[in-house]
Structure 1
Amino acid sequence: MSQADFMALIQTVVQGLLTGGLYALIGTGLSLIFGVMKVINFAHGDFLALGMFITLALFKAFHLDPYLSLLVAAPVGFALGYLIQRLLLARLGERLHEASMLATLGLGLIVSNSLLLTFGAQPQNINVAYATKTVELGGVQVSIPLLVAGLGTLVAIVGLNALLYRTELGRAIRATAQNPLGAELQGVKTSNIQAIVFGLGVAFAAIAGVLLMPLLYAYPTVGENYTTKAFIVTVLGGLGNLPGAVVGGLVLGVIESLGAFYISNNYRDAYGLVAFLLVLLLRPEGLFGRTVKRV
């Protein structure tokens, strides 16, 4: 392999890791919700689209830098997720696991169609000076928005890890995920914990939307593709496994990047689906999941 080919490989892998970091952020929110509530949020990508359009609206109205929109999008996402769990999902009671699929699919349709009515179907983007600029790191050219997105993902995931393992709230979340009845007996209000967790999951999706906005065009159905990616990431890492979701996102990003570079960019999304199917065939519990034996 020549030096030029080697540098091209390194460039491709770095871009894949940074893109995979965003996938990890999206998948972490979905995995957190499943780990605590055993619910797959099929509206996850639509909440990402909501984050993108919040960023777009603030930029058009106040010329607010996209990344400063995090100060608005993240709290809005958390509040929305909290209210959805309290007002809708909590009312499903014992039917939650079966009915949540239809409920979240309906939520996704409501969000995407609301965005369509408000902003129209035309793809829109944000023109900022750094959108097309790159920085050289060790001989590798990296897009500034992609680098910022990767760093933002790192901060968000480290912050979530600190919340889960260094606070009383985090202990309550982990207890609710492991044994809801036992947590209730210890005085934990699991209904409130579930609402907080759903709010955190939606907030992570909204944060991902903000970080993606300088890189992509926003349109009402943009979230559909990212719901699929979040599901792939979650399955790759093992349902409900947060470290696995991070690794799954990085793996998906690298696979897509290598496939696009060495085969064809036209089938970029297909490479992740192939990896997804292979994992389902060879290790259905995911790369870091555990096999449960029934007796």
Structure 2
Amino acid sequence: MAFIQAVLDGLMIGGVYAVISIGLTLVFGVMGIVNFAQAEFLTLGMFVAYFAWKFLGLDPLIGSFLSFVVIFGLGVVVQMTLIQRVLNAPPVAQIFVTVGLLIVIENLTLIVFGSDFHSVTTSYQTSTLRIGPLFIGIPYLAAFLMALLSAAALWLFTNKTWYGRAMRATAQDPMAANLMGINADRMRQIAFGLGVGMTAFGGAVILPYFTVHPTVGHQFVVLMFTVVVLGGLGSVAGAVVGGFAVGVIQSVSTLFFPIQLQNLVLFIVFLTVLAVRPTGLIGAAR
């Protein structure tokens, strides 16, 4: 029964891992750029939800939508002013720009918000749902359901709307997309905004059981890259599968090893999978 409980706990957190990682793989899939500042947008999303709770009285689950909108807009501006300029530059220039963006955002948040840890208080914060001998924390369940909702909304957008199809066309062949009347630059702006907005949304929904501070992104950045590479860099479906896999591996490993070795087990599995399938679980070779 302990194993089933561990798997259930892993699935709950894995759903959130998937959502915060979808944004990273979406940006890479459309623009071919690995955004090393992705986790900093998660931090900003958490701060937006925190201040929406503090000053507007919005529950973080509701504030997550505000986080998405605010960070989406910020992402569009960043893409237009910074990322667009290095799209055709050597990869090393792209890395420097996104790493520099990481440093700027982190230090700005330290200057503006200070180094204190902040948390919210909700009515369901310590509530649990019992299913027979199994227990699910309500905050974890709520975050998981919100993550599934956002992932489903993204799938509908990319597969059922004109903008979504245009964005996928831009990812496949920007020149052909331009010839078909699609504004490839606009699609890249939307893709980057969606990418960082989804990550901010995922950060906001975990606020009921997580504290926010300017360096909170450090706790997620390695996991995000692990998820997208394990699932297949550039594959949204791969990010979902990778997120659930990482969550379950982390949770189950604590049954057999000290929690300090949680990530060690994860990376052993990670390296083993890549040794067998270098393109990831779902990614395809180019």
Q: What TM-score do the two structures reach when normalised by structure 2? A: 0.96
Does 2:209 match 1:215? yes
- Output the aligned Cα RMSD: 1.4
The change in CA–CA distance for 1:87 and 1:188 in structure 2 (over 3 A counts) is: same
2:64 to 56, 63, 70: 70
1:180 to 174, 177, 197: 174
The residue aligned with 2:115 is 121
- 1:209 offset after TM fit, Å? 0.9
The residue aligned with 1:200 is 194
- 1:96 offset after TM fit, Å? 6.1
Unmatched runs of 5 consecutive residues or more in structure 2: none
Unmatched runs of 5 consecutive residues or more in structure 1: 1-6
The residue aligned with 2:156 is 162
Judge conservation of contact 1:44–1:227 (CA < 8 Å) in 2. yes
Which amino acid in 1 is paired with 2:189? A
Q: What TM-score do the two structures reach when normalised by structure 1? A: 0.93
- 1:93 offset after TM fit, Å? 4.3
The change in CA–CA distance for 1:188 and 1:107 in structure 2 (over 3 A counts) is: same
After TM superposition, the runs of 4+ consecutive aligned structure 1 residues lying more than 3 A away are: none
The residue aligned with 2:279 is 285
2:239 to 240, 245, 256: 245
- 1:71 offset after TM fit, Å? 3.0
**SS state at 1:95 partner:** coil
Which amino acid in 2 is paired with 1:117? I
Taking only the aligned residue pairs, the percentage that are identical comes to: 39
Judge conservation of contact 2:31–2:87 (CA < 8 Å) in 1. no
The residue aligned with 2:28 is 34
Judge conservation of contact 2:65–2:201 (CA < 8 Å) in 1. no
Which amino acid in 2 is paired with 1:123? F
Which amino acid in 1 is paired with 2:14? G
- 1:115 offset after TM fit, Å? 1.5
**SS state at 2:275 partner:** helix
The one-character-per-residue Cα deviations of 1:105-159 (angstroms, maximum 9, x if unpaired) are: 1111111112111222122211222112111134320010100111011111111
Q: Give the Cα separation in 2 of the matches to 1:22 and 1:88.
A: 28
Judge conservation of contact 2:87–2:94 (CA < 8 Å) in 1. no
The residue aligned with 1:273 is 267
The change in CA–CA distance for 1:169 and 1:96 in structure 2 (over 3 A counts) is: farther
Q: Give the Cα separation in 2 of the matches to 1:261 and 1:215.
A: 22
Judge conservation of contact 2:74–2:193 (CA < 8 Å) in 1. yes
The one-character-per-residue Cα deviations of 1:196-240 (angstroms, maximum 9, x if unpaired) are: 000000101110110111111111111022121111111011110
1:259 to 253, 257, 261: 253
